[in-house]
Amino acid sequence: MSIFGSMKTAVSGMSAQANRLSTVSDNIANANTAGYKAVSTSFSSLVLPSSSGNYNSGGVQTSVRQAISQQGDISYTTSAYDLAISGDGFFIVEGADGTPVLTRAGDFSVDSDGNLVNSAGYTLMGYSYDSGVPAVVVNGFDGLVPVNVAQSGLSAIASTSAYFSGNLNSEATVVTDTTTLPSANTSAVTDDTQKMSLVAYDSLGATVQYDYYFTKTGVTTDASGAVTGSTWEVAVYRNADAATGGTTSFPYSSSAVSVATLSFDANGQLTSATDTDIVDPVTAKTITMDYSDFTQLASDFSATGSADGQAASSVSSVSIDTDGVVSVSYANGTTKALYQIPLANVASPDNLTLLSGNVYTANGQSGVTVTGFPQTNGLGSIQSGALESSNVDLAGELTEMIEAQRSYTANSKVFQTGSDIMDVLVNLKR
């Protein structure tokens, strides 16, 4: 055995324990870093060829292991913009250079531009609802934009669709005199006509009330006289054009904005609905009507409905649900989805490349990045008003530190002993 060899082995041992102390130091320093994942040092031996009578000491080498896949404890906060992932997955964030990276650090706050940025300066990315319900790009980061929650002032959305559902009484009298139909816009509307109203919104957020008149206009029978179907007329008028000072809204000062025909079969189920769109000459808007849930059964008339759009209203709050949908709530009680936050994952999270700022990038060992929405394809859920703590065990780290210190001291003693033996050899010549 070479004395120099034993000294070199001791040096490799001290170097290995120094690496171990480095990981312990990093873990303790980041014990309170949101989403931080502990690192540890693993050891493997280096063996040199030896003979039966002469042993050559080798050494030890270290490698760093990451506990990225280990979930940290979740603690609740007072900020709705603090986000924690319960389960697998990473937030997709973007640095100042515009490169998307992954992180579990969800300590986001609103910057001067209204974007959600975490304490390391990375901007949260999501899919916008500007073009409708977003679809995820599973194999890349295309389509992602910064999540911006700067919603101020008033907002208004014009109505583009509406629906009515309910029941039309099959025992209603058939109106054959077309001059008494609501679509004729006379003052002699039959008592068998049923009226409901619905509120929609124009592009400025002003309310527009529409009056709906339902009248049974026909019945079809077979050769035996059995009823095979019925038709109803639905005439729609602007309430603002209704007559005033009399006992009826008719005649309206303008013609109907929609006259639809509903056809029902012998079982009272709707078979067709024609010319259902409302075309309003005042607002210059078209509202697509949906009557598909109407039935015609031997029961009293009933109806319910609503229109999309929104009256002019101020923002009251912004919320993020477990599916990652960022929604804004208005003072009038309506809500609007702004973004959906996706999550990304890899086959081997513990092999991701760690970068400054507690972010990760994929590599050949971790596998490719796969993106999806929370609670789909094995991805976890997002908890708003919560943070994932680091998964560092302080008691374990302090124990590691003591062990590393003792091992380092022992290796230094081996080196010191080898140095003393060298001194003895040098002094033999004197």
Q: 92 with 102: CB under 8 angstroms? A: yes
| Res. 53 pLDDT band, cuts 50 70 90 | low
pLDDT above 70: residue 51: no
| Res. 1 pLDDT band, cuts 50 70 90 | low
Mean local confidence (pLDDT), 161-180:
93
How does pLDDT run across 2-11, given as a tens digit for each residue?
777 788 888 8
Closest to 115 measured CA to CA, from 331, 357, 342, 338:
338
* 57 vs 327, residue with greater confidence: 327
Mean local confidence (pLDDT), 25-53:
86
* Domain chopping of the chain, boundaries: 3-70+391-427, 74-154+314-388, 159-308
Tokens coding 221: 């029978």
Lowest mean pLDDT among 85-99, 148-162, 358-372: 148-162
Query: Which residues 6+ apart lie within 8 Å of 162 measured at CB?
Result: 198, 200, 278, 287, 288, 289, 290, 305, 306, 307, 308
Mean local confidence (pLDDT), 97-102:
95
pLDDT above 70: residue 26: yes
Give the Cα separation of 22 and 60 in Å (integer): 16
Q: 265 with 126: CB under 8 angstroms? A: no
% of the chain residues with pLDDT over 70: 98
Domain spanning 159-308, CATH class: mainly beta
Tell me the average pLDDT of the chain. 91
How does pLDDT run across 287-316, given as a tens digit for each residue?
999 999 999 999 999 999 999 988 888 778
How does pLDDT run across 273-294, given as a tens digit for each residue?
988 999 999 999 999 999 999 9
Q: Which amino acid is at 164?
A: F
Residue 197: the pLDDT is: 95
Residue 372: the pLDDT is: 95
Give the Cα separation of 390 and 364 in Å (integer): 26
Give the Cα separation of 202 and 211 in Å (integer): 16
How does pLDDT run across 206-255, given as a tens digit for each residue?
999 999 999 999 999 998 989 999 999 999 999 999 998 778 899 999 99
For residue 301, report the phi and psi dihedrals to the nearest 5 degrees.
Answer: -65, 135
